[in-house]
Structure 1
Amino acid sequence: MSWKILVVLFIGLLAWSYKALCPPPALICGSLRGPPITAPRIKLRDGRHLAYKEHGVSKDIAKYKIILVHGFLSSRHEGSLTKSELVEKLGIYFVSFDRPGYGQSDPDPKRTMKSTALDIEELADQLGLGPKFFVVGFSMGGQLIWGCLKYIPHRLAGATLIAPVVNYWWSSFPANLSKEAYYQQSLRDQWALRVAHYAPWLLYWWDTQQWFPSSSVANGMPNFTAPDLKVLRELRSIAEPGYATQQGKYESLHRDMMIGFGKWDFDPMELENPFTDTEGSVHLWHGDEDGIVPVTLQRFVAQKLQWIQYHEVPNAGHLFAHADHAKDAILNTLLVGKE
C-alpha cells in the first residue's frame, strides 16, 4: 500500500472521528431550524433566555415563594409539588424553569454549578420574589441545590433536596463507601459515569455509538424499583423527554452528566450551615429503596452535615415525592417546620 493511500485513509479516519466526537449544533428555540418560543422567558445577564412557568397562588398575595429545579429528562412542566392541597392553604407561589439547554431555555456552553445558581438568583430578581426565597430540587435538580447553598446562601429562606444525585468522586466520601455504591449501578451506567468524569469530551460519542450500551437513565430506562413502578402506574406522565431535549441531548442531558459527575470546585460536605440564626432550614429527602441514587451515600452526607434535616422514607424509590402524602410532608417541613 502506497504512502498516498495511507495518507488518504488517515485523513478519512480523522474526519470520521471528528464527526463522531462533535455533537451537532443545538436547535435554538426561535431560530430558523429550532422549536418555536411559546413560554414566558427572561433575558439573563449574558444574553441567554430562561423559560419559566408559574404555579400556585399569585406571587402578589403569596406567603411563601418557591423556585422549583427540575431533574434529568424533565422540564418546567414538572410541578407535582404544586398539586398539594397545602398550596392554597398556606399561600404558596411556585415558579419552575427550564434549565439551560432544556425545553425553551437557551443552552449555556459555559454552564457550571455556579452559573445555574446565579440563573436562579436572577430569575428571582426579575420576577420580583424579594430578598429571600425557597428552593426545591428533585434528583439532578436536587444536586443543583448544593450550588445554591454554596453560591447564593444569602438569598435563601430555606432549601429542600429531594433524592439528589450524588457525585461518586466527592472527596469527603470514604473510598470504600463510594466504590461500593458505584458498583451497585449497572455496568452500562458505570461506564457512562466514568466517561462523564474522566473523558467528558467523549460523552456525546459514547451515548450515540452502537457498540456498547450507553447510560440507561439518558436513554429513558432508569433502574426504577418496585415502589417507583407503583408510582408510575398511578401517574399519567412525569417527564416529557421530547420537550425537554428538543434543542438537542448534548446541551441538556450530556452537559448535565458532565457537570454532575465531573470535577467540582467544592465539596458539598464541607459547606457551612447558612441558617445559623434558625430562621431557615435545609432538608434532604431520600427513599430507602432508591435504585438510581444509593441511599448509603445520602446517609453519609447527612451524617457529615448534621445541620441538614434528613428524612429517609421507608419502602420508597426515586419517585416517592410524586405521592400525595409525600408532597404535603415535604412542604410542611420546609415551610411550617413539621411533617
Structure 2
Amino acid sequence: MDTGLEDGVTYGIMEPEEAGTVRLRDGRALGWAAWGPAGGAPVLFFSGAAMGRSLGFGADVLGRLGVRLVAVERPGLGVSDPAPDRTLLSWPGDVRELVSGLGLEGGVRVVGFSHGAPFALACAAAGVVTAAAVVSGLDELTHPGLPVDPAVAGLLAAAADDPEAFEATFARDGGAEMMWGLVTGTSGERDLAVYTDPAFEPAYRRSLAEGFAQGAAGYARDLVLAFRPWPFRVEDIRVPVVLWYGGHDPGTVHSPDHGAVLARRIPGARRHLLPEEGGSLLWTRADDVLAALLAA
C-alpha cells in the first residue's frame, strides 16, 4: 500500500535529554522528561491515553525552533504518584506547580495529543498556559449534536450510568497490550504505517509499558474524566487554541468530526484539517504544529 511516507523517517523521536520529578505541595510527585535547548520557549506535552514520558515528538526541529519540550505524566501514569480523586479542574493546579518547580519562564504553551486534549484545554481555560495546540484530540463527546461512533456511545453511556463501576472495570482490565491492540485495531492504513514502523513501534510500546507501570488505575481515571461532561466551558477559553486533525483519521476515539464542533465552540480557535494525514500527524508534521503554536 502507498502510505505517503518516505523511507528512513525517524518521526522526530529520540531519548529524553533530561528526566525527573517535581514534588508538589501535597507530597505527590509528577514525572517529566525534556528535549531541546534549556533556554528555549517552554512547551508542555500532554500525551495520549496511558503514554509515559519517554515518547516525545519533533526532536529534530526543537533546536531550530528554539523550543524546550517537556512531557508531563498525569497522576498514576509512569512515575507520577496517583491521585484517585483528581478531576480535570485539579489538573491545572498540578501543572502550575510543575511549571514553577521546573523554573519555566516566559509564558508556557501546551500540546495535547489525543486523550491529552481535555487536560490541555483545562489548562487553557484556567489560564495556566498562554496558548494550546490540540492534535488529533478528543472532543467533549457528551456535547449535544456531536456525532459519535456507536461503540464509543456505549462507553459514554456506561460512564454516565455508573462512573465508579466504569472506572473499576478499566482499572482491572487495562494494560499495555490491551492499549496497543486498541490503537492498532482502530487505526487506518496511514496511522498503522506509522505506529508499526520499526522506527516508531518500539518507542511507542515502551511508552505504554511506562504508562501502565503502576497498573491501570491512572489510565482508568483519565478515561472517566474524558468521557463524562467536562467541568469547564471551552467557550470561556481566552488564550489562542490551534486544532490539528488528519483526514485519514477514522474519527472513532479521536474527534468524530475532526474538531469542527470544537473549533466553533472555542473563541478564535484555528482548525487545520490535513487531508493526507492521519491521527499520527504529531510525528509527521511536528514542525508545522510547533511553529503555529509559537506564532499563536
TM-score normalised according to structure 2 size:
0.82
- 1:312 corresponds in structure 2 to 273
Q: Is the 8 A contact 1:70 1:99 kept in 2?
A: no
Q: How does 1:137-152 map to 2 (within 5 A)?
A: 137-151=112-126
Q: Secondary structure at the match of 2:165?
A: helix
State how 1:200-215 maps to structure 2 within 5 Å: 200-204=163-167, 206-207=169-170
Tell me what 2:12 maps to: none
Match of 1:65 in 2: 42
| Per-residue deviation, residues 67-107 of structure 1 (Å, max 9, x unmatched) | 111110211112013x232x111221121121100000000
Q: Does 1:56 align with 2:36?
A: yes
Distance (Å, rounded) in 2 between the aligned partners of 1:266 and 1:157: 17
Judged with a 3 Å threshold, the aligned counterparts in structure 2 of structure 1 residues 227 and 205 are, in CA distance, closer, same or farther, namely same
Q: How far apart, in 2, do the equivalents of 1:133 and 1:96 lie?
A: 13
In structure 2, the residue matched to 1:164 is 137
Cα distance change, pair 217–195 in 1 and its aligned pair in 2 (3 A): farther
Specify whether residues 209 and 301 from structure 1 end up closer, same or farther in structure 2 by C-alpha distance, changes over 3 A only.
Answer: closer
Give per-residue Cα distances to partners, 1:257-296, cap 9 Å, x unaligned. 111112332232x22423xxxxxx3211111232232442
Cα distance between partner residues in 2 of 1:272 and 1:253? 26
Structure 2 match to 1:42: 22
Please say if residues 140 and 165 of structure 1, whose CA atoms lie closer than 8 Å, have aligned partners that are also in contact.
yes
After alignment, is 65-74 or 283-292 more displaced? 283-292
**Structure 1, unaligned runs of 5 or more:** 1-37, 211-215, 275-280
1:265 paired residue number:
231
Mapping of 1:24-35 within 5 angstroms?
none
Q: Give me the whole-angstrom Cα distance separating, in 1, the residues matched to 2:292 and 2:189.
A: 26
Q: CA deviation at 1:317?
A: 2.0
Matched residue type, 2:117: G
Q: Give aligned pairs, total.
A: 269
Deviation at 1:46, TM superposition (A): 1.4
**Secondary structure of the residue that 2:223 maps to in structure 1?**
helix
Preserved contact between residue 158 and residue 334 of structure 1 (Cα < 8 Å): yes
Query: How far off is 1:156 after superposition?
Result: 2.4
- What code does the residue aligned with 2:282 have? A
Match of 1:78 among 55, 58, 67: 55
State the shift of 1:298 in Å: 1.2
Aligned equivalents of 1:69, 1:332: Cα separation in 2: 18
Unaligned residue ranges in structure 2 (runs of 5+): 1-17
For 1:40, what is the secondary structure of its paired residue? strand
Change (3 A) 1:336 1:167: closer
1:45-194 matches, cutoff 5 A: 45-58=25-38, 61-62=39-40, 64-81=41-58, 83-85=59-61, 87-130=62-105, 132-151=107-126, 153=127, 155-170=128-143, 173-174=144-145, 178=146, 181-182=147-148, 184-185=149-150, 187=151, 189-194=152-157
CA contact (8 A) 1:44 1:122 kept: yes
The answer on whether the counterparts of 2:19 and 2:34 sit within 8 Å (CA) in structure 1 is: no
Structure 2 CA distance for partners of 1:109 and 1:93, relative to 1, 3 Å:
same
User: Percent sequence identity over matched residues?
Assistant: 25
